[in-house]
Amino acid sequence: MRSARASLIWAALIAALGIPIALAALSPFLEWRDWIYITGGFAGIAALGLLLIQPLLIGGFLPGLSPYRARRLHRWIGGALVVALLIHVAGLWITSPPDMADALLFRSPTPFSPFGVVAMWAVFAVALLALFRRRLGLRKWRVVHLSLAVVIVACTVAHAVLIEGAMETISKAALCALVAIASGKVIFDVWARNKKTRPMRSSSSGFR
């Protein structure tokens, strides 16, 4: 029974990630695009998919992974997310430097650009702060990480939904919804857990 449930969960995750990518690969929008633009675009789709995996790892929703392995994989996927974003931005920059410059300077007329830029810088901020998480302390790191995670998820979903590009509408909406639901669930659980343990810590400190 457990093995069947585990297989179902992994199959659902593969479908949630694979179907949007497969449908995007069949998009007529790609017919006249060069490989650099296509690579940059699919790197963005991959980044959206990675955002779904991250909360599932931290929340312990992926069977067969111990908490230790899930945390380590979470960090590796965080690095992969940074790489995917760099490829995404580089591909779009090479094919259209003026548009990317306007987007990075928040001068672009397209409504999805500001959300993408904010999400990108928030991801970079998490990656940078992760290098100093021991100096920050566990409590400060969690607060900063969760706060930036909210910004990343909200802005990424808005960015993806507003773009009319290679991704098919229904599969894109479904993936964005899954990212938002999974992230919201884990963020709320961690926040609630921290809120419960805070009074215990403060009360126990009085006995020291």
Residue 55, CA distances (Å) to 35, 144, 182, 187 in order: 31, 16, 6, 8
Q: Which residues does the chain have with pLDDT short of 50? A: 200-208
What residue ranges do the domains of the chain occupy? Answer: 2-194
Task: Round to whole Å and give the CA distance between 63 and 2.
Answer: 9
pLDDT tens-digit series, residues 55-66: 999 999 999 999
Tell me the HSE value of 17 on the side-chain side, using a 13 A CA sphere: 16
Q: At what angle do helices 2-25 and 35-58 cross, to 10 degrees?
A: 160
pLDDT tens-digit series, residues 161-199: 999 889 999 999 999 999 999 999 998 888 887 777 665
Taking a C-beta distance cutoff of 8 angstroms, is the pair 156, 179 a contact?
Answer: yes
Looking at the whole model, is its pTM more than 0.75?
yes
Residue 175, CA distances (Å) to 1, 96, 118, 181, 194 in order: 27, 27, 20, 10, 28
Residue 88 CB: number of other CB atoms within 10 A?
Answer: 21
As a whole number, the mean pLDDT across the chain is 91
